[in-house]
Chains A and B, each alone.
Chain A
Amino acid sequence: MSKNTLYGIFDCELVLLAAVKEVRANKIEIKEVYSPFPIHGLDKALGLKETRMAITAFIYGCIGLSLAALMIYNIMIIDWPQNIGGKPNFTFYHNMPAFIPIMFECTVLFAAHLMSITYLIRNGLYPGAASDCPDPRTTDDKFLMEIEVEGDLAALKAMLTKNGATEINEKDA
Chain B
Amino acid sequence: MDWLLNAGDDPAHKFLLMIIAIVLFVAVMALILFVVDKPRNPSKWFIAGGFVGPALLLLAAGLLYPAIGTIVNSFQRRNSSEFVGFDNYARAFSDPAFLLVLGNTALWVLVAPALATFIGLVYAVVVDHSRFEKFAKALVFLPMAISMVGASIIWRFVYEYKPDQPGIEQTGLLNQLIVWLGGSPVQFLLERPGNTFLLMVVLIWIQTGFSMTLLSASIRAIPTDIVEAARLDGLSGFGMFWRITIPSIRPALVVVLTTIAMTTLKVFDIVRTMTAGRYGTSVVANEFYEQSFRQNNAGLGAALAVLLFIIVIPVIIYNVRQMRLAEEVR
The answer on A and B forming one complex is no
